[in-house]
């Protein structure tokens, strides 16, 4: 944390960006939902889910691949006593969801015995209480709604990074999209923030992806030849083809009424002209209003739309953190085994922060420009490659 305070927080506080491209995605892992000590035995009937789906929200700069945050959607500090207190003081069990203090949690209140004039039946109360008590026999803390986690996630990034304009890339995940439009509502209204969808067909085989990559390359070169362009740079050709496309294609449609006209999202996506070897073609759409921009400006933005930044870091999580990796095959070969899965989200968060720091400052990668630099160097907050010892010993 001291290293990040010195080289990340302080450096970013002294920098400002004209445009920041954020790529956000959610990784899920199965929390190993083990019982607490002393909560086993035959007298504790009933079984909570042994593997509970838990989310990690990751946001990175799409251009430099610098990972700003990686947050586990879990509150490990919430206790039964806190829930009981809030329920009694704020009457949480009788409020609408939007009014509850702890509505972000999967158990937002402690079940209360119904009063004489209550509409809840005694057997409904006992069932609710049994479910609550059963959950409390397992891992400490409670899961947090992914939308709430992502809202906090974006708010913290917005405090950390000074940018005049924001560009966000995500898949069609409602929790991420909702969080973006809430945190960046002012910027969206003033056209300083735009949201792009990057949609993939994950059922493609590796062979199909390679074929699409070769087809995309051949199509762009053929298109450039027939248009009279001498360059064979695929990125330049892709930009030129997009510029031509956006002379007629629009992501929005105009609705006219007798008193006014306004633009709405048309759900009219395009296929990105650049395909990758491992994913093939991907679909791009924009949920915000680009009507004030010229085709060349829209093309400059769309050419940057991909999810490589988050995919790269999530792949590192899967490979480097055994507690969050993909499950093993059982010895019998008839299912998945989660015996090494994480059962303490607090330490999962610690491990993710350490990995994020190493990934940003110590792990250089070679990009299309031929330079081998770390994400922190590409972002401009440092000019050297750090060693793990530099982080541990604060050099």
Give the tens place of pLDDT for each residue, 328-370: 555 555 666 666 666 788 888 988 999 999 999 888 888 877 7
**Whole-number mean pLDDT of the chain?**
84
Question: Where residue 36 sits, what CATH number does that domain have?
Answer: 3.30.420.10
* Backbone torsion region of residue 103, taken as left when φ is above 0, otherwise alpha when ψ lies between -120 and 50, otherwise beta: alpha
- CA nearest to 320, candidates 359, 374, 278, 377: 359
Angle at 101 between CA 96 and CA 104, to 5 degrees: 90
Residue 90 lies in a domain: yes
Cα 303 to Cα 301: distance, rounded to the nearest angstrom = 5
Query: 201 falls in which pLDDT band (50, 70, 90)?
Result: confident
Residue 302 near residue 284 (C-beta atoms within 8 A): yes
| Bridge partner residues of 67 (DSSP) | 60
- 337 domain-assigned: no
Within this chain, do residues 68 and 157 fall inside the same structural domain, yes or no? yes
172 and 27 share one domain: yes
Q: Are 356 and 316 in contact (CB under 8 A)?
A: no
Judgement on whether residues 242 and 313 belong to the same structural domain of the protein: no
Indicate whether 43 and 66 sit together in one domain.
Answer: yes
Q: Are residues 226 and 372 in the same domain?
A: no
* 176 pLDDT tier (thresholds 50, 70, 90): very high
* Domain match, 84 and 131 both: yes
- The C-alpha atoms of residue 180 and residue 157 are separated, in whole angstroms, by 11
Quote the pLDDT of residue 269.
92
What is the reported pLDDT for 84?
84
What pLDDT was estimated at residue 335? 63
Tell me what percent of the residues of the chain surpass a pLDDT of 70.
89
Structural domain count of the chain: 3
Q: What is the pTM of this model?
A: 0.86
Q: H or E segment at 275?
A: none
Q: What domain range includes position 175?
A: 1-73+145-200+307-331+346-395
Same domain, 108 and 213: no
- What would the mean pLDDT of 151-179 be, rounded to a whole number? 93
Residue range 256-270: mean pLDDT, rounded: 86
**Does residue 338 lie in a domain region?**
no
Q: Is residue 340 part of a domain?
A: no
């Amino acid at each position: 944390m001291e290293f990040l305070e010195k080289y990340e927080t302080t450096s970013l506080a002294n920098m400002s960006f004209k445009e920041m491209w954020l790529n956000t995605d959610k990784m899920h892992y199965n929390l190993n939902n083990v019982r607490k000590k002393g909560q086993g035995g035959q007298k504790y009937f009933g079984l909570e889910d042994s593997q509970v789906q838990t989310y990690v929200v990751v946001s990175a700069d799409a251009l430099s691949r610098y990972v700003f945050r990686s947050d586990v959607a879990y509150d490990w500090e919430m206790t039964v006593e806190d829930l009981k207190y809030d329920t009694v003081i704020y009457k949480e069990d009788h409020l609408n969801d939007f009014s509850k203090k702890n509505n972000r949690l999967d158990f937002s209140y402690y079940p209360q015995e119904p009063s004489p004039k209550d509409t809840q039946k005694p057997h409904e109360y006992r069932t609710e209480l049994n479910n609550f008590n059963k959950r409390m026999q397992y891992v400490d803390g409670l899961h947090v709604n992914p939308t709430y986690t992502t809202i906090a996630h974006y708010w913290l990034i917005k405090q950390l990074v000074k940018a005049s304009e924001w560009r966000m890339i995500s898949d069609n995940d409602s929790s991420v999209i909702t969080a973006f439009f809430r945190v960046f509502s002012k910027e969206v209204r003033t056209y300083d923030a735009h949201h792009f969808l990057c949609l993939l067909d994950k059922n493609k085989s590796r062979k199909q992806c390679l074929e699409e990559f070769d087809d995309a390359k051949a199509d762009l070169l053929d298109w450039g030849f027939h248009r009279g362009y001498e360059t064979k740079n695929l990125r330049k050709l892709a930009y030129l083809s997009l510029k031509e496309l956006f002379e007629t294609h629009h992501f929005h449609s105009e609705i006219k009424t007798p008193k006014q006209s306004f633009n709405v999202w048309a759900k009219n996506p395009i296929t990105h002209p650049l395909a990758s070897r491992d994913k093939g073609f991907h679909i791009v759409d924009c949920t915000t209003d680009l009507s004030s921009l010229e085709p060349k400006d829209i093309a400059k933005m769309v050419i940057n739309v991909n999810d490589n930044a988050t995919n790269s870091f999530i792949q590192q999580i899967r490979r480097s953190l055994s507690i969050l990796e993909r499950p093993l095959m059982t010895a019998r070969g008839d299912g998945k085994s989660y015996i090494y899965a994480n059962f303490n989200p607090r330490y999962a968060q610690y491990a993710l922060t350490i990995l994020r720091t190493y990934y940003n400052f110590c792990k250089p990668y070679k990009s299309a420009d031929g330079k081998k630099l770390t994400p922190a160097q590409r972002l401009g907050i440092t000019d050297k490659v750090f060693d793990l010892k530099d982080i541990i010993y604060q050099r």
